Structure 1
Amino acid sequence: MPVLVPVLVRMHPDDNVAIVGNPGGLPAGTVLPGGLVLQEKLPQAHKVALRDVRVGEPVRRYGIPIGFANRDIGAGGWVHERLLTMPEARALGGLPMATAPLPDAAPLDGYTFQGYRNADGSVGTRNLLAVSTTVQCVAGVLDAAVERIRRELLPRYPNVDGVVALTHAYGCGVAIDAPGAEIPIRTLRHLAKNPNFGGEVMLVSLGCEKLQPERLFPPGSIAIADGLAAHHVRLQDEDGFAAMTARILQQAEAHLQRLNARRRETVPASALVVGMQCGGSDAFSGVTANPAVGACTDLLVRAGATVMFSETTEVRDAVEQLTARARTPEVARRIVDEMAWYDAYLARGGVDRSANTTPGNKAGGLSNIVEKAMGSIVKSGSRPIDGVLSPGEHLAGRRGLFYAATPASDFICGTLQLAAGMNLHVFTTGRGTPYGLAACPVLKVATRSELARQWHDLMDFDAGRIANGQWTIAQAGQAMFEQLLAVASGERTWAERHGLANDLVLFNPAPVT
Structure 2
Amino acid sequence: MTNALEQPRIICIHPSDNVAIVVTSGGLRAGTRLPDGLELVVDVPQGHKVALSDIAQGKNIIRYGEVIGTAVSDIARGEHVNESNVQLPTPPALDNLPMASRPSPALEPLEGYTFEGYRNVDGSVGTKNVLGITTSVQCVAGTLEHVVERIKKELLPRFPNVDDVVGLNHSYGCGVAIGAPAAIIPIRTLTNLARNPNFGCEIMVLGLGCEKLQPSTLVEDQPVKLFNHSDEAETSASTVSLQDESFSGFSEMIDGIMRVAERHLQRLDQRQRETCPVSDLVVGMQCGGSDAFSGVTANPAVGHATDLLVRAGASVMFSEVTEVRDAIHLLTPRAVSPEVAQMLIDQMAWYDDYLTLGHADRSANPSPGNKKGGLSNVVEKALGSVIKSGNSPIVDVIGPGERLRTRGLTFAATPASDFICGTLQAAAGMNLQVFTTGRGTPYNLAMTPVIKVSSNTTLSQRWHDLIDLDAGRIATGEATIEETGRALFDLILEVASGRTTVAAEKLGLYNDLVLFNPAPVT
TM-score, structure 2 normalization: 0.95
Percent identity between the two aligned chains: 63
Could you tell me which residue of structure 2 aligns to residue 314 of structure 1? 323
> Counterpart in 2 of 1:482?
490
Q: Which amino acid letter does the alignment assign opposite residue 236 of structure 1?
A: Q
Question: Is this contact kept in 1: 2:235–2:260, CA < 8 A?
Answer: no
Which residue identity is paired with 2:394? Answer: I
Name which of 356, 363, 367 aligns with 2:372. 363
Query: Is 1:468 the equivalent of 2:476?
Result: yes
Residue 258 of structure 1 aligns with which residue? 267
Choose which of 175, 178, 181 in structure 1 pairs with 2:177: 175
Give the structure 1 partner of residue 385 of structure 2.
376
1:451 corresponds to 2:459 = yes
CA deviations on 1:457-500 (whole Å, 9 max, x unpaired) are 10001001111212110111110000000000002101111111
Residues 216-235 of structure 1 aligned to structure 2 (within 5 Å): 216-217=218-219, 230-235=237-242
Contact 2:129 2:162 in 1 (8 A): yes
Pairwise mapping of residues 204-353 of structure 1 onto structure 2 (< 5 A)?
204-217=206-219, 230-237=237-244, 238-353=247-362
In the other structure, the counterpart of 2:114 is 112
Secondary structure of the 1:42 match is coil
Superposed CA deviations along residues 216-273 of structure 1, whole A, max 9, x for unmatched, are 34579xxxxx999711111112222211111111111000001000000101111100
Q: CA deviation at 1:5?
A: 2.5
**8 Å contact from structure 2 (residues 235, 263) kept in 1:** no
In the alignment, the residues of structure 1 paired with residue 45 and residue 290 of structure 2 have an alpha-carbon distance, to the nearest angstrom, of 15
Which residue identity is paired with 1:352?
D
Task: Tell me the SS of whatever aligns to 2:198.
Answer: helix
1:141–1:241: 8 Å Cα contact kept in structure 2?
no
Partner Cα separation in structure 2 for residue 148 and residue 300 of structure 1: 39
Unaligned runs of 5+ residues in structure 1 are: 221-225
Q: Secondary structure at the match of 2:259?
A: helix
Task: Give CA-to-partner distance per residue, 1:170-206, whole Å, 9 cap, x none.
Answer: 0011111112001000000000000000001111000
Aligned residue in 1 for 2:419: 411
**Structure 2 runs not aligned, ≥5 long:** 223-232
Q: 1:99 corresponds to which letter in structure 2? A: S
Mapped contact 1:142–1:245 kept (Cα < 8 A): no
State the alpha-carbon separation in 1 of the partners of residues 220 and 363 from structure 2. Answer: 40
Query: What are the within-5 Å matches in structure 2 for residues 8-19 of structure 1?
Result: 8-19=10-21
Residue 423 of structure 1: CA displacement? Answer: 0.2
Q: After superposition, what is the alpha-carbon deviation per residue over 1:365-415, rounded to whole angstroms, capped at 9, x for unaligned?
A: 00000000010000000010000010000114x211000000000000000
Kindly report structure 1 stretches of 4+ aligned residues shifted beyond 6 Å.
Answer: 226-229
Matched residue of 1:386: which SS? strand
Give the equivalent residue in structure 2 for 1:434: 442
1:425 aligns with 2:420: no
Q: 1:386 aligns with which of 385, 395, 413?
A: 395
CA distance in 1, matches of 2:336, 2:241: 47
| TM-score, normalising length: structure 1 | 0.97
2:150 is matched with which residue? 148
Q: Which moved more, 1:356-365 or 1:28-37?
A: 28-37
Query: Aligned partners of 2:509 and 2:141: how far apart in 1?
Result: 19
The answer to whether the 8 Å contact 2:300/2:388 transfers is yes
Does the residue aligned with 1:286 lie in a helix, a strand or coil? Answer: coil
CA contact (8 A) 1:306 1:402 kept: yes
Q: 1:212: Cα distance to partner?
A: 1.0
**Partner residue in 1 for 2:40:** 38
| Superposition map of 1:24-63 within 5 A | 24-63=26-65
State the AA in 2 paired with 1:324.
Answer: P
Q: In terms of mean alpha carbon deviation, does 436-445 or 209-218 score higher?
A: 209-218
Amino acid at match of 1:28: A
Match of 1:195 among 194, 197, 212: 197
Q: The residue matched to 2:324 in structure 1 has which SS?
A: helix
Q: 2:182 aligns to what SS in structure 1?
A: coil
Conserved 8 A contact 2:194-2:218: no
Number of aligned residue pairs: 507
Cα-to-partner distance string for 1:411-438 (whole Å, 9 max, x where unaligned): 0000000000000000000000000001
Give the superposed CA RMSD: 1.5
* Aligned counterparts of 2:502 and 2:220: Cα–Cα separation in 1: 36
Instruction: Check the 8 A contact 1:55/1:71 in 2, yes or no.
Output: yes
CA distance in 1: counterparts of 2:177 and 2:110, whole angstroms: 48
Matched residue SS, 1:236? coil
Q: 1:271 is aligned with what amino acid?
A: D
Cα distance in 1 for residues equivalent to 2:302 and 2:366: 21
Instruction: Tell me how far apart the structure 2 counterparts of residues 61 and 444 of structure 1 sit (CA, whole Å).
Output: 26
On the 8 A contact 2:419/2:511 being kept in 1, the answer is yes
Residue 128 (structure 2) aligned to one of 126, 145, 150: 126
